Amino acid sequence: MSQPATDYTIDELICVCIARQIEDGELVVQGIATPLVLAGYMLARLTHAPHIAFASAIGQTFCRDWGPLSIAHVEALWLGKALGRFDFAQAVCELLPTYQPKEFFRPAQMDARGNTGNIVFGDYHKPRLRLPGCGGIADVTVYEEHVCFYVPRHSRVTFVEQVDLVSGLGVGAGPPEHPAPGPTYLISDLGQFDFAPGRMHLTSVHPGVTVERIQAKTGFRLEIAPDLQETPPPTAEEVRLLREVIDPLGIRDLERLSGARRRAKLHEIIEREQDARTVNIKRQ
């Protein structure tokens, strides 16, 4: 057993917590622009879950192999190492309802019961902020029993009393004869949660974080587990895998950045990726 890491970032802790949610042999799905999730899946694949299968929105393939995170070359993994391929109509109409794979979504807004919004902040017809859209969250949360969430920046912007426009169903939402299962797990940069009592329920706090701080950054009353734990830190080996093997370019850092800071980091990553590629081509 590897020693606990003494030096790790919050992004790395999120990746490790996502990896711990993965069971060996299951099918996991990656959505659009979710590098923290992919890094977590790859970590699971390289540690306790060597038999998982990946399906990705980008590429629409099944994969059992792994590859390092990339900006320009994501298709080298999803298409270059694919075992089988499908298209998005098959994915939506056949594969997702049938296999109900595990997927981590990133809600823009969420209420206590796990109802989410990824379309707008504010009024639909005159929004404060227009978001990209909900993809398939409005489709799968109706029936899917393995929905997980991750929130890289825990704040009252995301965790709200009432979602402006609901585009994903929380626990028990929907028609009474077919209530939605709701999410089962949520990881943020402050703690881990489940929805066992039907509402967001704090089960562990990350090292150095207080319950008061989490409650202050949440726009509704949190349920607190009576046996509240501290999130176990990553092991030294997990951090090494993330930094040296899975994501040497640091793409996982992008999700917690926004605006000019994200663009600056993107510049750095794109340049490093080009340089690394040039070196590889010369070696060949």
Report 49-68 residues binding other proteins (CB under 8 A). 57-61
Summary count for the chain: helices (H), strands (E): 9, 14
Judged by CB under 8 A, the residue of 29, 52, 134, 202 near other proteins is 134
Q: Which is nearer to other proteins, 74 or 246 (CB)?
A: 74
Number of residues engaging other proteins in binding (CB under 8 A): 75
DSSP characters over 89-124: HHIIIIIHHHH--EEEE--SEE-TT--EE-SEEE-S
The nearest distance, CB 62 to other proteins, in angstroms, is 12
Q: Which is nearer to other proteins, 90 or 229 (CB)?
A: 90
Q: Which is nearer to other proteins, 10 or 165 (CB)?
A: 165
- C-alpha 76 chain-centroid distance: 21
3-state secondary structure of 282: helix
Q: Which residues from 113-132 bind other proteins, rule CB under 8 A?
A: 119, 124-132
Separation CA 29–CA 17 (nearest Å): 16
Would you mind telling me the total number of residues written for the chain in this entry? 284
Q: Is residue 283 close enough to count as binding other proteins by CB under 8 A?
A: no
Q: Is residue 174 close enough to count as binding other proteins by CB under 8 A?
A: yes
134, 167 in Cβ contact below 8 A?
yes
The nearest distance, CB 240 to other proteins, in angstroms, is 24
Q: Is residue 42 close enough to count as binding other proteins by CB under 8 A?
A: no
DSSP characters over 194-249: E-TTSS-EEEEEPTT--HHHHHHTSSSPPEEEEEEEEPPPPBHHHHHIIIIII-TT
Hey, which residues does 256 pair with through a beta bridge?
none
Q: Which is nearer to other proteins, 233 or 248 (CB)?
A: 248
Judged by CB under 8 A, the residue of 147, 169, 239, 241 near other proteins is 169
For 224, half-sphere exposure in the C-beta direction (CA atoms, 13 angstrom radius) is 12
The nearest distance, CB 1 to other proteins, in angstroms, is 34
The nearest distance, CB 174 to other proteins, in angstroms, is 3
3-state secondary structure of 78: helix
The nearest distance, CB 65 to other proteins, in angstroms, is 15
Q: Is residue 178 close enough to count as binding other proteins by CB under 8 A?
A: yes
Hey, which residues does 235 pair with through a beta bridge?
4
Q: Please state, as a whole number, how many other Cβ atoms lie within 10 Å of the Cβ of residue 32.
A: 10
Q: Which residues from 242-261 bind other proteins, rule CB under 8 A?
A: 251, 254-255, 258-260
Q: Which is nearer to other proteins, 187 or 251 (CB)?
A: 251
Q: Which is nearer to other proteins, 25 or 84 (CB)?
A: 84
The nearest distance, CB 24 to other proteins, in angstroms, is 27
33 CB-near residues (< 8 Å, 6+ apart): none
Q: Please state, as a whole number, how many other Cβ atoms lie within 10 Å of the Cβ of residue 267.
A: 10
Strands 84-85 and 61-63: antiparallel
Q: Is residue 225 close enough to count as binding other proteins by CB under 8 A?
A: no
Q: Which residues from 77-116 bind other proteins, rule CB under 8 A?
A: 78-80, 82, 85-89, 91-93, 97
